[in-house]
């Protein structure tokens, strides 16, 4: 919230402003420099006042894009992202983006205009009950009908969005409140201090129990989730792992929270996690869950999940504790703070256990898996998504911000791009929202203009928000776009292949020529069909001055392996068939 950044607003003496001006002045006070939005009648007063304030407004092509951009901005920077829309359809178009942020606990503030307070509730033109609609997908929302309530509500929204477990907040402001005037006093509009959730609980007793469990464990595994990144606990998790020699498995959203190259990093767990990771979890005698919520995509069947393991759960949201998996010790609080309390009590080495034996067991269970690693296969003339992503990783040195869409390519991106640092993988985990990547990447680029940003999208999902190409063109920003074009809604096709007797209903997909589509937006592009072209294409995209689109024509019926079918146990995985027709030359 950087009260230092507030200079502009807070140093100005209280003055009488219109509600519209108050909206911007408050945003400036909160340190906002970029917002993503789309105008309309009920928010016009706010737009009219914009030119007086030092805020850059990015005009999106669909309000869903605005919410995703705010989300990508927040994920890349750790700051609050802001989206703006008009009433009615503008507001409802935000909903998917808001729900995406809610499910992944991303701090965004959405500001919508609404009809005048005098006609609220009368089905006036473009009126919808957006606070009602978004109630279950926001952390909180406000309906503001008086000018003097605007600044306090927006400041409160910023506080709510980023305290405790973060999440989206919506502030709906009636048109007459925007048009009215009030004294604007940024400092006086400050919310009450954040009250931590009353059920946070890190007791001496629990800490002692945790230390004891860690000391006595023979086969411990740390499960690192999104909370590691949101709490900024990367150092602490690393210290715990290194000090007690505990291997670390990551959730999809946890990737980057622990360096991929670290010898104790096992990799991603869950539905598309590598076999040894899930086996290690199933064999473990202690799981230390750090900022993760035992989502069904990582546990498989709950009744058979890690039955031999005691469980320690360190989590900021008390409602997540004992929700899916019963735990033995719950340390309910901010992950970083809890680990800082725990760490001094953890002795180095591995207590009574022969830590290296456990780690060696896991190592050996990797077995021949590394052999099937795509990068070790000779070029068969086939182009696999894995090649593409592996090359992007290699050529960018793993330093890019990777923004994925949802589907097979998302899982391949998680498997073949190795994240060393937090906030380098931006992906919709909880809601799994197709169409997320392109707008989220735009948001990430505004948050980190100096970073290299790559979109990894499927041919299906890309078309859901492809209109944002013209936002890119209008803003003149540079991002690199890789479309993993398999001619299918690939992940659904994969389920049809495995579980519906290859009945490919509604998954074959006709797409436009994406390179021509880019061209129509003044964006350069190239079609890539063979493995030998990948590296040069990636280089070409990187060195192009503007946004560049690569259309990778990959194997149509490749699948993501291994896979744990939904509702199965973690150890019941489908592996890549020995004789995979795709793998043979």
Partner 1 sequence: MLHTFVAYVEDLPGVLTRVASLFRRLNININSLTVGRSERVGLSRLTLVCEASAEAGHRIRASLYKLENVVDVDDIAQAPSVTRELALIKIAATPRNRSGIFELVEVFRARIVDLAPESLTIEMTGVESKIEGLIQVLNEGEERILEICRSGKMTMRRGHHTSSVLKAMGADADQAAEEPTEDSAAGEPE
Task: Report how far apart, in Å, the C-alpha atoms of 319 and of each of 225, 291, 326, 330, 401 are.
Answer: 16, 13, 12, 12, 32
Segment 45 to 74, residues that bind partner 1, using CB under 8 A: none
550 bridge partner residues: 482, 526
Residue window 386-405: x/- pattern of binding to ligand TPP, with contact defined by CB under 6 A: -------------------x
Q: Among this protein's residues, is 63 annotated catalytic?
A: yes
Among 107, 113, 254, 318, binds partner 1 (CB under 8 A): 318
Residue holding tokens 């039955």? 307
Q: Among this protein's residues, is 434 annotated catalytic?
A: no
Number of residues that bind Mg ion (CB under 5 A): 6
Residue 300 binds ligand TPP (CB under 6 A): no
Residue 321 contact, options ligand TPP, Mg ion, partner 1, none, Cβ 5-8 Å cut-off depending on partner type: partner 1
Which of these is catalytic: 63, 127, 234, 468? 63
Residue 36 contact, options Mg ion, partner 1, ligand TPP, none, Cβ 5-8 Å cut-off depending on partner type: none
| Strand order across the beta sheet in which 524-528 lies | 425-426, 401-404, 453-458, 480-485, 548-553, 524-528
Segment 189 to 208, residues that bind partner 1, using CB under 8 A: 197-199
Residue 558 binds Mg ion (CB under 5 A): no
- A 10 A CB-CB count for 443 gives 32
Task: List the structure tokens of 367.
Answer: 């077995």
Residue 406 binds ligand TPP (CB under 6 A): yes
- What single string gives the DSSP state of each residue in 514-575? HHHHHHHTT-EEEEE-SHHHHHHHHHHHHHSSS-EEEEEE--TT---SSB--TTS-TT--BP
Which of these is catalytic: 411, 491, 563, 573? 491
Residue 148 binds partner 1 (CB under 8 A): no
Residue 143 contact, options Mg ion, ligand TPP, partner 1, none, Cβ 5-8 Å cut-off depending on partner type: partner 1
Instruction: Please name the residue ranges forming H helices in 163-255.
Output: 175-179, 204-216, 226-230, 234-244
- Dist. CA 577–CA 84, nearest whole Å: 49
- Dist. CA 183–CA 38, nearest whole Å: 27
Question: Which residue lies nearer to ligand TPP by CB, 184 or 488?
Answer: 488
Among 157, 491, 541, 550, binds ligand TPP (CB under 6 A): 491
- Dist. CA 83–CA 170, nearest whole Å: 9
Q: Among this protein's residues, is 491 annotated catalytic?
A: yes
Nearest to 326 by CA among 353, 299, 355, 363: 299
Q: Among this protein's residues, is 271 annotated catalytic?
A: no
Which of these is catalytic: 1, 53, 126, 533? 126
Rounded to a whole number of angstroms, the minimum distance from the CB of residue 398 to Mg ion is 25
Q: Among this protein's residues, is 125 annotated catalytic?
A: yes
Angle at which helix 89-103 crosses helix 63-77, to 10 degrees, equals 30
For 348, counting Cβ atoms within 10 Å of its Cβ (0-12 exposed, 13-18 middle, 19+ buried), the class is exposed
Rounded to a whole number of angstroms, the minimum distance from the CB of residue 517 to Mg ion is 16
Question: Which residue lies nearer to partner 1 by CB, 195 or 579?
Answer: 195
Residue nearest to ligand TPP (CB): 458
201 bridge partner residues: 332
Among 490, 550, 552, 558, binds Mg ion (CB under 5 A): 490
- A 10 A CB-CB count for 10 gives 18
E strand or H helix that includes residue 224 = strand 220-224
Segment 403 to 462, residues that bind Mg ion, using CB under 5 A: 458-460
Residue 143 binds partner 1 (CB under 8 A): yes
E strand or H helix that includes residue 362 = helix 355-366
Residue window 115-134: x/- pattern of binding to partner 1, with contact defined by CB under 8 A: ----------------xx--
Among 140, 215, 262, 394, binds partner 1 (CB under 8 A): 140
Q: Which stretch binds partner 1 (CB under 8 A): 49-57, 317-325, 444-452, 552-560?
A: 317-325
Residue 409 binds ligand TPP (CB under 6 A): yes
Residue nearest to Mg ion (CB): 458
SS3 308: coil
Residue 317 binds partner 1 (CB under 8 A): yes
Residues that bind ligand TPP (CB under 6 A): 405-409, 432-434, 458-461, 484, 486, 488-492
Residues recognised as catalytic: 63, 125-126, 175, 491
Residues that bind partner 1 (CB under 8 A): 131-132, 135-136, 139-140, 143, 160, 197-199, 317-319, 321-323
């Amino acid at each position: 919230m950087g009260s230092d950044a507030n200079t502009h607003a807070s140093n100005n003496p209280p003055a009488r402003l219109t509600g519209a001006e108050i909206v911007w002045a408050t945003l400036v006070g909160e340190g906002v420099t970029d917002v993503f939005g789309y105008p309309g009648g009920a928010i016009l007063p706010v737009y009219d006042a914009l030119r007086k304030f030092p805020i850059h407004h990015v005009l999106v092509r669909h309000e869903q894009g605005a919410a995703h951009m705010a989300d990508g901005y927040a994920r890349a920077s750790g700051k609050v992202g802001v989206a703006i829309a008009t009433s009615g359809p503008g507001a409802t178009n935000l909903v998917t983006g808001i729900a995406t942020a809610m499910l992944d606990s991303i701090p965004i503030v959405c500001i919508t205009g609404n009809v005048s307070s005098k006609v609220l509730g009368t089905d006036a033109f473009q009126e919808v009950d957006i606070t009602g609609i978004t109630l279950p997908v926001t952390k909180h929302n406000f309906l503001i009908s008086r000018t003097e309530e605007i600044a306090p509500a927006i400041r409160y929204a910023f506080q709510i969005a980023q305290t405790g477990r973060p999440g989206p907040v919506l502030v709906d402001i009636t048109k007459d409140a925007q048009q009215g005037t009030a004294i604007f006093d940024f400092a006086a509009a400050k919310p009450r201090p954040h009250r931590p959730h009353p059920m946070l609980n890190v007791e001496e007793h629990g800490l002692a129990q945790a230390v004891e469990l860690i000391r006595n464990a023979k086969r411990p595994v740390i499960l690192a989730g999104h909370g590691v990144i949101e709490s900024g606990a990367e150092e602490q998790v690393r210290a715990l792992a290194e000090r007690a020699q505990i291997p670390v498995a990551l959730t999809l959203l946890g990737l980057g929270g622990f360096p991929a190259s670290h010898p104790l990093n096992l990799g991603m767990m869950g539905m598309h996690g590598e076999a040894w990771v899930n086996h290690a979890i199933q064999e473990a005698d202690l799981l230390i869950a750090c900022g993760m919520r035992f989502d069904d995509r990582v546990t498989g069947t709950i009744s058979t999940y890690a039955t031999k393991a005691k469980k320690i759960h360190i989590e900021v949201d008390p409602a997540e504790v004992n929700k899916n998996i019963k735990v033995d010790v719950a340390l309910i609080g901010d992950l970083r703070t809890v680990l800082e309390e725990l760490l001094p009590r953890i002795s180095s080495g591995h207590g009574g256990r022969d830590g290296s034996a456990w780690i060696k067991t896991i190592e050996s269970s990797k077995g021949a898996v590394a052999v099937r690693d795509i990068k070790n296969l000779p070029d068969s003339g086939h182009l696999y998504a894995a090649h593409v992503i592996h090359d992007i990783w290699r050529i960018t040195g793993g330093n890019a911000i990777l923004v994925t869409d949802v589907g097979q390519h998302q899982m391949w991106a998680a498997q073949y791009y190795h994240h060393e640092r937090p906030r380098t993988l931006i992906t919709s985990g909880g809601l799994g929202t197709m169409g997320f990547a392109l707008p989220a990447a735009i948001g990430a680029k505004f948050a980190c203009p100096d970073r290299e940003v790559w979109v990894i999208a499927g041919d299906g999902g890309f078309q859901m928000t492809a209109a944002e190409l013209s936002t890119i063109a209008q803003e003149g920003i540079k991002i690199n776009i890789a479309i993993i074009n398999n001619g299918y809604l690939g992940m659904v096709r994969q389920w049809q292949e495995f579980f519906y007797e290859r009945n490919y209903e509604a998954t074959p997909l006709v797409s436009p020529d994406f390179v021509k589509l880019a061209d129509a937006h003044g964006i350069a592009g190239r079609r890539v069909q063979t493995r030998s072209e990948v590296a040069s294409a990636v280089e070409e995209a990187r060195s192009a001055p503007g946004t560049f689109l690569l259309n990778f024509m990959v194997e149509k019926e490749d699948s993501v392996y291994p896979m744990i079918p939904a509702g199965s146990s973690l150890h019941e995985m489908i592996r890549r068939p020995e004789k995979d027709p795709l793998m043979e030359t």
